[in-house]
Amino acid sequence: MIYRKRRTRQGTPGGFYRFLDANNRQVVGPGDGDFIHLRDELGNEWRGVAERQADDTIRYRFRDSNGNYISGVSDGYGVTLRDQKGKTWRGFVD
């Protein structure tokens, strides 16, 4: 008999990501599984990954070409991100 290891966790779901900061600046874009490609209102591209943690939260990390970064977590109800300047971005995945 051949035994196969069963996957207990699935990867992160894909979809369309939309984040807003306190000044209503948007960062939006598609994501497919772990890889996410976002674009803000100024035309900057943000590339990032989503990693599922042991407690079923999802950790997001994004970086642009200028070296800026945004990171945060999702608990299933929404996504909260924070950039290196301390601005908070809130959003969701469609």
* Grouped pLDDT means (10 residues each) for the chain, 94 residues: 60 82 92 89 92 88 93 87 92 88
Pick left, alpha or beta for residue 84 (phi over 0 → left; psi -120 to 50 → alpha; otherwise beta). alpha
pLDDT of residue 37: 95
pLDDT of residue 93: 87
Distance of alpha carbon 70 from alpha carbon 12, whole angstroms: 18
- Quick one: CA torsion of 60, 65, 68, 71, rounded to 10 degrees? 0
Q: Where are the domains of the chain?
A: 16-93
Q: Where would I find the beta strands (DSSP E) of the chain?
A: 15-20, 26-32, 35-40, 45-52, 58-64, 69-74, 79-83, 88-93
CA distance 76 to 92: 9
pLDDT of residue 79: 92
Q: What is the pLDDT of residue 62?
A: 94
Predicted pLDDT at 69: 92
**What's the pLDDT at 7?**
53
